[in-house]
Amino acid sequence: MTSPPNQLVCLAVHGRTLLEVAEANDVKLPSGCRMGMCGSDPVYIVEGSENLSPVSRDEQDTLTRLGLPLGWRMACSAKVQGPVVASQTSLEEASTAEPLGPPAFQVDKGVQDVVIVGNGVAGATAADYIRRYHPDCNVTIVARETYHFYNRMAVSKLIHGGTDLDQITLMPQTWYQERRIECLLGSEVVRIDRARSMVVTDRRRMLHYDRLLLAMGSGSFIPPIPGWGISGTFALRNIDDALGLRDYALFQSCQEAVVVGGGLLGLEAGHALTSLGLHVTVLVSNSSVLQRQLDPECAALLLQILRDLRIEVLLNTELTGILGEDKVEAVDLGGGRVLKCDLILATVGVRPVVDIAIDAALDVNRGVVVDDELRTSDSAIYAVGDLAEHRETLYGIWPASVEQAKIAAANLLGDHQSYQGTTPVTQLKLQGVELVSLGDFNATEDDQVIQLIDPEERRYRLLVLNQGRIKGAILLGYPQEATAVVRAAKDGLDMSSYVEDLKAGRWDVISG
């Protein structure tokens, strides 16, 4: 990879992404999901675009949302296959949103007022597509937080101070202005008046809607822990949570931290706390870390890696109480076990934000119940993202929020697209750890399993095939192969002809 005149010239390994090449040559690029979805790392390709891997659907969705014209790529998705000249420039060069061309459906011009509750990836994506389909309607976003749309997947990076707010902000104020989207920051919808098609905010503003889209997301779930709420107890869901946690750890000179929960967020936040110099102990109530994403063999390898990163993990351990009068001094683990600490972070799960939906008498189970067109029990109200329960499933992942938002944006304007679900893809984002899990890796007798373990290098590959197609996969330590596997799974690629190569470890056959 090369860059513009008087800038860095470097060699690139064939098949590595532009982001990986930049990082290998000490060029700092913001990074987030590393799967082309969040939009943290756009670069402009000055020359050699034909020497990059094709644009995936996820990457194209992100480029569209950012308003970036032809020639831009997401550095984490574009793989180098020849000489490339790339330039890191500001998103201020992004174009304004252009209509997507004539929609394939008849836009209902009677829809003039659209209100979106929530400014996360679901709400922002929906707003963008609504504007593109219908340049003339009024689009208003009501956002509880005081920040414009940012990369929620990267909030743990704020803890150790290596990332600032600008680096995780994905949509600056100009993005909303250029698209004529009114965004009411720091405001909360407190009531939906379905009879009058109005929403009421906490600032006593009443907003009329022809269509209402609920995209409030989810909030941290805090189990009933005796002592919770004293100084030094934290949850982590948004920017303010991360900044408050960091400030407390620094200003209180904390030395020992306990993280409750061994999921993705808990491990990423725990690693961030080690970067502040704290010793971190993660409490996991079951027998392995990332139990939803990993099988026991891969979980055991990851446990070894975490110990090398100075993260101690206590399996089959419950937090039964918090000790301390005014602030955290220790945790009670039951059975007479007490662990001293200065700070506690709970990351045991999330709950959809459904209060206003319940008050409005919409159908709510665990989340707001939606049909295949993402309509709620009220035909004028749609729901997407973390709070939407589709076919008894709450996805709670970025790709599902994007796909649902695109479909709901079209449907609330008159289309009838059907949402059929999203293959879950999750990634652990720790320095030096490349871990991706997708789909359902629990094999049945009808599935074909390919499993390769390299215990010395702490690398692992698992592929579960059903009728030749990828049903689930886990890859630890194989970033290039992981990218190819994710794409093959999403595209429904028939892997039957590759089985013998895959068994022999030649996974480059699908790297393309």
Above pLDDT 70, what percent of the chain? Answer: 95
CA distance 155 to 233: 17
Instruction: Tell me what the mean pLDDT of segment 487-494 comes to.
Output: 89
- Residue 415 is predicted with a pLDDT of 97
Question: What are the structural domains, with CATH classification, of the chain?
Answer: 18-93 (3.10.20.30), 113-219+351-411 (3.50.50.60), 233-348 (3.50.50.60), 432-510 (3.30.390.30)
Cβ contacts of 364 within 8 Å, gap of 6 or more: 354, 357, 358
- Residue 380 is predicted with a pLDDT of 98
CA distance 347 to 261: 5
Predicted confidence (pLDDT) per residue in 184-232, tens digit: 999 999 999 999 999 999 999 999 999 999 999 999 988 889 999 999 9
Angle at 146 between CA 141 and CA 149, to 5 degrees: 60
Band (pLDDT 50/70/90 cuts) for residue 430 is confident
**Containing H/E element for 73?**
strand 72-74
Mean pLDDT of the residues in the chain? 90
**Containing H/E element for 245?**
helix 239-251
383, 357 contact by CB (below 8 A):
yes
- Residue 7 is predicted with a pLDDT of 66
Q: Reduce the DSSP state of residue 338 to 3 states and report it.
A: strand
Pairing verdict, β 206-208 and 321-323: unpaired
15, 511 contact by CB (below 8 A):
yes
Paired tokens of 475: 């890859």
The residue assigned the tokens 């303010």 is: 240
- Residue 79 is predicted with a pLDDT of 84
- Residue 101 is predicted with a pLDDT of 63
- Residue 100 is predicted with a pLDDT of 58
CA distances from 317 to 157, 163, 232, 258, 335 (A): 27, 32, 20, 12, 11
CA distances from 133 to 100, 261, 409 (A): 7, 42, 8
Q: Reduce the DSSP state of residue 400 to 3 states and report it.
A: helix
CA distances from 431 to 173, 184, 271 (A): 31, 36, 9
Cβ contacts of 432 within 8 Å, gap of 6 or more: 309
Length, in residues, of the chain: 512
The residue assigned the tokens 């970033």 is: 479
CA distances from 326 to 234, 249, 329, 334 (A): 15, 16, 9, 21
| Residue in 63, 55, 132 with CA at minimum distance from that of residue 101 | 132
Find the range with the poorest average confidence among 25-29, 59-63, 433-437.
25-29
Q: For the stretch 280-315, what's the b/e string if a residue is b when 16 or more beta carbons lie within 10 angstroms of its beta carbon?
A: bbbbbbeebbbeebbbebbbbbbbebbeebebebbe
474, 436 contact by CB (below 8 A):
yes
Predicted confidence (pLDDT) per residue in 77-136, tens digit: 888 888 898 887 655 554 455 555 678 899 999 999 999 999 999 999 999 999 999 999
Higher pLDDT, 166 or 313: 313
Band (pLDDT 50/70/90 cuts) for residue 361 is very high
CA distances from 227 to 232, 300, 316, 332, 337 (A): 11, 33, 21, 10, 16
Find the range with the poorest average confidence among 24-33, 61-70, 440-449.
24-33
Band (pLDDT 50/70/90 cuts) for residue 3 is very low
**Containing H/E element for 206?**
strand 206-208
Q: Is the sign of the CA dihedral 365, 367, 368, 369 positive or negative? A: negative
Predicted confidence (pLDDT) per residue in 330-349, tens digit: 999 999 999 999 999 999 98
CA distance 302 to 435: 9
Please give the torsion angle defined by the CA atoms of residues 251, 342, 231 and 221, in that order, rounded to the nearest 10 degrees. Answer: 120
498, 485 contact by CB (below 8 A):
no
- Residue 209 is predicted with a pLDDT of 98
CA distance 314 to 261: 10
Phi-psi region of 241 (alpha: psi -120 to 50; beta: other; left: phi over 0): alpha
| Residue in 289, 287, 242 with CA at minimum distance from that of residue 267 | 289
Most confident residue range from 2-6, 18-22, 147-151: 147-151
Predicted confidence (pLDDT) per residue in 227-246, tens digit: 999 999 999 999 999 999 99
Find the range with the poorest average confidence among 59-63, 328-332, 447-451.
59-63
Above pLDDT 90, what percent of the chain? Answer: 66
CA distance 498 to 469: 11
Give the phi and the psi of residue 442 in degrees, each rounded to 5.
-85, 105
- Residue 347 is predicted with a pLDDT of 93
- Residue 256 is predicted with a pLDDT of 97
